[in-house]
A and B are shown apart, each in its own frame.
Chain A
């Protein structure tokens, strides 16, 4: 077993110099990861503090575990990191100020695309009626005529 440590140390002494001593990392409960998932890794590219294996996120997870042990609530812990790193650390943009824009934009998008689709269908339907010479017929008249047509269809099918 000691040979492993020796060989690793020999080949990757640089890497090992980076790691902190030979202390085992702390045990972490599922709750730690739940909270860490909401925070971004400050040095990584697109990874959360729960996912990354960077040293700084190991430290973040350790801090979360310690604060949980001290009886701090999730909100307090998240506030601690916001105070240190600003709201940039949160993966969920706040629903106020500038962050509100990104939350409302999908609704606006849905409204615009939905309205576009509605407008398109209205125009297409008006054109069909225009082509069939029905543009002067009111909606009610059309509905009544269609209903009558349908009745005729079913009466023909039944001998």
Chain B
């Protein structure tokens, strides 16, 4: 048995069991017999195991340097270190779609285990089987990584050097796919709700999966930003690159849906709009893959191209048509009734969702506009960071204001006691902005600082007032604090909100106060810049199996030695700069080796980027993931059926 044969076998089994699962759920639906759902659950497990075998076979080929199959012959080299060999599986198109299929089968199996509803389970499971079949059939018939190579080469070119430059490449794509694929579960629940015409319960059923996927999307976006920061060598973490945008659009739509889902659970409102949102969020993940895999757009992150563009476009259209055709059919039945005051939690939740949807619209518009203009008029235009930044500043302020106000206001209508909290928040906003301006910060940064404090006071009030209330009732502050454990999920949400406010602060400072400068220094020479002394001590070379590196030893006063380097890979003509960063709580000192004296090794050219508060960006990412985990962690006490306690205000 060779890896190629094993892989083909695994894929065939996965396709077979996916079809079997699909047939079983159709049987369950037509015969109204829940036993077939149990059969489908087993088929889901077997399809997952089949895909796992294929995944394992490709890893086997990579780790044992087997070049007899197409994927390794094209994307692998014996010179790679073991972790690069392992991560090469998702460094190119075929492997990354196999990884996608693997995660999809995993989600289908796990989500299937948790489906309890007699009516909706067959349809929801069927939708997931259909989605996973799309990916599996693609991997098996269109972009099969196990296609035998007639004359296996002794060695291959290896993966893209940019992907070998940082260990994050072993993590970021998996997080991203876990997020993308995770959104298929809410989509499946929505389809099931529309087909079975049971419009109320699907949101609480799918909320856990939605937030689960949201957490991975968040982690993946930050991880990608950190990878850009550490690898791309220009000291930035976000460039509004099309691939970054493609990951941001599903995040924005999923975030909108997280909030409108609360409105539906609590007030039975927005039901048909939620169907539309969840369809768009899932479609956006496929749209992103279409954009990045089809070669339609060019990007630094688009590492794989291939024939799948039209296929993914077709799949995207199928998703949108299915979702909206069903919605068109049921929208006459879903007649929401209820009045919403703007100045209430649901009013602001809906406004917040509007902000996120408009953000998504701006990102889609800015990403596609150059393509549309070129397609229709042949002109070339560029839409880049300045466009997105200018539009996201006002939208970001609106988001910051709403995310503090929403949780403070009660459902249905404002109560007099919240006025004191609102007054304190207003004082914090004015004070923060005023202090910022007095310190000489720009208006935009000062306003962000003010809104950060605005959020902080809101959160402090939200945390403190229930403790005070419980302490009054139960006696003693300790029992009040103890009672907090009862609303862990709510506090998870607050933690996420705090982290978002912190992110906004970090973005405002790092975007506004960045110093970017380049200088050539002799070895031994010192350079006074940005309050530090930078001294070049030595220039040396290191040879590794897969690359050759030139390293400068540079001392930044007070922060020790940094080692910016240039990596030369065999497959690439130009070297890849690997920056060195000294992280501090205030400013980051980021050094790039731009050039060096190739003749006598007497000088080096360094680029220095000094950016404030970048560390807090990564810290807030950790807090967001922690907050999400707090929300998701299974409750130890029994939850009453049909009522989710965490939304009780």
Instruction: Identify the A interface with B (CB < 8 A).
Output: 1-5, 7-9, 11-12, 14-16, 18-19, 22, 24-30, 32-34, 37-38, 40, 44-48, 50-53, 61, 86-93, 98-99, 101-103, 105-106, 109-110, 113-114, 117, 120-121, 123-125, 127-131
Contacts and interface: CB of A to CB of B under 8 A. Distances in A.
Given A8-B550, A46-B299, A53 B233 contact: yes
B545 interface: no
11 contacts: A4-B541, A7-B541, A8-B568, A9-B598, A24-B520, A34-B516, A37-B385, A52-B234, A106-B391, A124-B269, A128-B339
A91 to B, nearest CB: 3
B220 interface: no
B338 A125 contact: yes
A27 B520 contact: yes
Contact of B548 (A2, A5, A12, A131): A12
A interface majority secondary structure? helix
Contacts of A53: 233, 574, 577, 594
B597 A18 contact: no
Interface residues of B, number: 73
Given A28-B519, A47-B241, A125-B339, 18 more contacts: A1-B600, A4-B539, A4-B540, A4-B601, A7-B541, A8-B541, A8-B548, A9-B598, A12-B573, A28-B518, A32-B518, A51-B239, A89-B382, A91-B382, A99-B381, A113-B358, A114-B354, A124-B336
B523 to A, nearest CB: 8
Contacts of A51: 232, 234, 236, 239
Interface string B350-383: 1100100110011001100100010001011111
A7 to B, nearest CB: 6
Contact of B339 (A14, A22, A32, A124): A124
Interface in B519-543: 519-520, 539-541, 543
A1 B601 contact: yes
A26 B594 CA distance: 11
A158 to B, nearest CB: 13
B603 interface: yes
Nearest to A44: B300
A129 B337 CA distance: 8
Contacts of B369: 93, 101-102
B358 A110 contact: yes
A1 B598 CA distance: 9
Contacts, number: 189
B298 A109 contact: no
Which 6 pairs, one residue from A and one from B, show the smallest C-beta to C-beta distance? A91-B384, A1-B601, A33-B516, A92-B386, A125-B339, A45-B298
B302 interface: yes
B477 interface: no
Nearest to A121: B340
Interface in B577-622: 577, 594-595, 597-601, 603, 605, 607
Contacts of A92: 384, 386-387, 390
A131 B169 CA distance: 56
B517 interface: yes
B466 interface: no
Nearest to B608: A30
A37 B298 CA distance: 18
A141 B381 CA distance: 56
Contact of A98 (B335, B350, B379, B574): B379
B587 to A, nearest CB: 14
B510 to A, nearest CB: 14
B342 to A, nearest CB: 9
Given A28-B517, A30-B515, A5 B573 contact: no
B44 to A, nearest CB: 37
B575 interface: yes
B276 to A, nearest CB: 10
Nearest to B336: A124
Contact of A27 (B298, B366, B381, B519): B519
Given A4-B541, A102-B383, A24 B603 contact: yes
